[in-house]
Structure 1
Amino acid sequence: EWNIEAMGPTKRHYAGRLIRKLTPLWAHGAALTYNMGKHYPGEQLPRWSIHAHWREDGEPVWRDPALLASDDDKDDAQAKDAAKFAEALAERLQIDPGLVNPAYEDIHYYLWREHRLPANVVAEDAKLRDELERKRLAKVFAQGLAEPVGSVLPLRRVVEDGQRRWQSGKWFFRDSVMFLVPGDSPIGLRLPLESLPWADPDHIEIEAEIDPFAPREELPKKFEFKRLRTAAPGSSIEGFRPVPQDAPVVGKEEPGLVRTALAVEARDGIIHVFYPPLYAAEDWLELTAAIEDTAEEFGRKVILEGYLPPEDDRILNFSVTPDPGVIEANIHPAHSWAEIVERSTQLYEVAREVGLSAEKFMLDGRHVGTGGGNHVVMGGATPADSPFLRRPDLLKSMVGFWHNHPSLSFLFSGLFIGPSSQHPRIDEARQDSLNELEIAFQQVSRQSNTPPWMVDRLFRNIFADMTGNTHRTEFCIDKMYDPNSASGRRGLVEFRAFEMPPHAEMSAAQVLLMRSAIAAFWEKPYERRLIRWDTRLHDEFLLPHYAEADFKDALAELETLGFPLNPEWFAPHIEFRFPQVGEIAVRDMKVELRHALEPWHVLGEEQTSSG
Structure 2
Amino acid sequence: MSVHLGCPAPARRFRGDAYLAGGEIPYNAAPVCPSGYTGTMKTHPLAFEQAIRSHDDLLKRHELAIWVGAEPTFTDRRAETPEWLNNALGPSKESRARRMLAEAANLTPGGAVLRTLGRQYPKEELPRWSLGLYRRRDGQPIWSGPVDPLLEPAPLSMPEGALEDLWEQLAQHLGVRGWTALLFTVECYPNLRIVFRHDALPVLADPVRDPRLARPSPHGQPISPGGLHDELAEQGIFLLGIGWPGPEQGLGEVAAPCVELPACGEVELFLELLAAVGEAANAAKFTGLILTGFPPPVDATVAWTTLTPDPAVVEVNMAPASDVTGFLRETRLSFAAAANAGLSPYRLNYNGQITDSGGGGQLTLGGLEPNSSPFLTEPRLLPALIGYFNRHPALSFYFAGDCVGNSSQAPRPDERTAEIVEELALALALLDRQRNPTPEQIWQSLSPFLADAGGNTHRSEINIEKLWNPYLPGRGQAGLVEFRAFRMPPTPERLAALAALLRAIAALLTKKPQPPKLSYWGRELHDRFALPYYLRADLWEVLDELARTGLGLGQPIIAELLDESHYQVGEAKFGDCRLTVRRGLEFWPLLGDALAQEHGHSRLVDASTARIEISVGADVGAKSALADWRLTVNGYALPLRREDEIDGETWLYGVRYRRFKPWAGLHPSLEAQGPIELVLSHPDQPGAMRVTLYEWKPQGGGYDGLPVDQAEAAVRRTERFVVERLDAAPGVPPLEPPCGALTPYCFDLRWI
Same-fold call, TM cutoff 0.5 = yes
Deviation at 1:573, TM superposition (A): 5.5
The correspondence for 1:32, drawn from 100, 106, 113, is 113
Any conservation in 2 of the 1:542–1:597 contact (CA below 8 Å)? yes
Once residues 231 and 333 of structure 2 are traced to their aligned partners in structure 1, the CA distance between those partners, rounded to angstroms, is 46
| Distance of 1:518 and 1:168 partners within structure 2 | 54
Q: CA deviation at 1:471?
A: 2.0
Shift of residue 209, structure 1, vs aligned partner: 9.4
Q: Structure 1 residue 397 and structure 2 residue 374: aligned?
A: no
Superposition pairs for residues 492-531 of structure 1, below 5 Å? 492-527=480-515, 529-531=517-519
- Give yes or no for contact 1:369–1:500 (8 Å, CA) kept in 2: yes
1:189 aligns with 2:177: no
Matched, 1:558 2:546: yes
Alignment of 1:73-152 (within 5 A): 73-75=154-156, 81-94=162-175, 99-103=184-188, 150-152=190-192
Find the counterpart in structure 1 of residue 11 from structure 2: none
Q: Would you say the 8 A contact 2:299–2:368 is kept in 1?
A: no
Q: Distance in 1 between matches of 2:478 and 2:539?
A: 31
Counterparts of 1:426-465 in structure 2 under 5 Å? 426-445=413-432, 448-465=435-452
- AA of the residue aligned to 2:263: P
Q: Tell me how far 1:496 sits from its aligned partner.
A: 1.4
What does residue 280 of structure 2 align with?
Answer: 294
1:240 alignment counterpart: none
Whichever residue aligns with residue 101 of structure 1, its letter is V
Which 10-residue stretch deviates more, 152-161 or 391-400?
A: 152-161
Alignment match, 1:169? 207
Distance 2:160 2:205 in 1: 24
| 1:153 partner letter | R
How many angstroms does 1:368 deviate by?
Answer: 1.8
Contact kept in structure 1, 2:134 and 2:303, CA below 8 Å: yes
Cα offset, 1:578, TM superposition = 4.9
Residue-by-residue CA offset, 1:309-335 (whole Å, 9 max, x unaligned): 235444431111122222211222222
Please tell me whether the aligned partners of residues 86 and 153 of structure 1 are also in contact (alpha carbons under 8 angstroms). Answer: yes
Deviating more after overlay: 382-391 vs 262-271 = 262-271
CA contact (8 A) 1:86 1:264 kept: no
Could you say which residue in structure 2 is the equivalent of 1:599?
Answer: 587
Q: What SS does the corresponding residue of 1:274 show, helix, strand or coil?
A: strand
Gaps of 5+ in 1: 104-148, 182-186, 195-203, 211-257
State whether residues 260 and 291 of structure 2, in contact with CA within 8 Å, keep that contact through their aligned partners in structure 1: yes
Q: Larger relative contact order (C-alpha < 8 A, sep ≥ 6)?
A: 2
Q: What are the ranges of 5 or more consecutive residues in structure 2 without an aligned counterpart?
A: 1-82, 225-229, 247-253, 604-752
- Correspondence for 1:134: none
> Which residue of the partner structure matches residue 719 of structure 2?
none
In the TM superposition, residue 89 of structure 1 has moved relative to its aligned partner by: 2.7
**TM-score under structure 2 length normalisation:** 0.59
Match of 2:320 in 1: 333
Q: Is the 8 A contact 1:159 1:165 kept in 2?
A: no
1:276 matched to which residue of 2? 262
- Mapped to 2, the partners of 1:36 and 1:193 lie a distance apart of 9
Deviations 1:229-258 (A, max 9, x none): xxxxxxxxxxxxxxxxxxxxxxxxxxxxx8
Stretch of structure 1 that moved more, 371-380 or 70-79 = 70-79
Identify if the C-alpha distance between structure 1 residues 193 and 550 changes in structure 2 by more than 3 Å, giving closer, same or farther: closer
For the residue of structure 2 that corresponds to 1:67, the secondary structure is coil
Q: Distance in 2 between matches of 1:166 and 1:317?
A: 32
Quick one: distance in 2 between partners of 1:35 and 1:371? 25
How high is the TM-score relative to the length of structure 1? 0.72
Superposed CA RMSD in Å reads: 3.7
**Does residue 601 of structure 2 align to residue 609 of structure 1?**
yes
Deviation at 1:370, TM superposition (A): 0.9
- Determine if contact 1:83/1:102 at 8 Å carries over to the other structure: no
- The aligned runs of 1:151-300 (5 Å cut-off) are 151-153=191-193, 155=195, 157=197, 159-160=199-200, 169-170=207-208, 187-189=217-219, 208=234, 262-267=241-246, 268-300=254-286
For 2:208, the aligned partner's letter is K
2:342 alignment partner AA: G
- 1:74 and 1:370 map into 2 onto residues whose CA distance is 35
Cα separation, partners in 2 of 1:610 and 1:468, compared to 1, 3 Å: farther
User: Which protein is richer in helix relative to its size?
Assistant: 1
* Aligned residue identity for 1:262: G
Q: How does 1:530-549 map to 2 (within 5 A)?
A: 530-549=518-537
Distance in 2 (CA, whole Å) between partners of 1:259 and 1:563 is 48
In structure 2, C-alpha distance between the alignment counterparts of 1:79 and 1:562, rounded to whole Å: 68
Q: Secondary structure at the match of 2:130?
A: strand
Contact 2:356 / 2:487 at 8 angstroms: preserved in 1?
Answer: yes
Equivalent of residue 62 in structure 1, options 143, 168, 179? 143
Distance 1:190 1:500 in 2: 32
Distance in 2 between residues matched to 1:568 and 1:57, nearest whole Å? 29
After superposition, the Cα gap between the structure-2 partners of 1:529 and 1:35, relative to the gap in structure 1 and judged at 3 Å, is: same
Q: Distance in 2 between matches of 1:192 and 1:102?
A: 20
Q: Is the Cα–Cα contact under 8 Å of residues 266 and 272 in structure 1 kept in the other structure?
A: yes
**Cα deviation code 1:444-472 (max 9, x no counterpart):** 44982222222122112222222322222
Distance in 1, matches of 2:266 and 2:313, equals 33
Shift of 1:263: 4.4
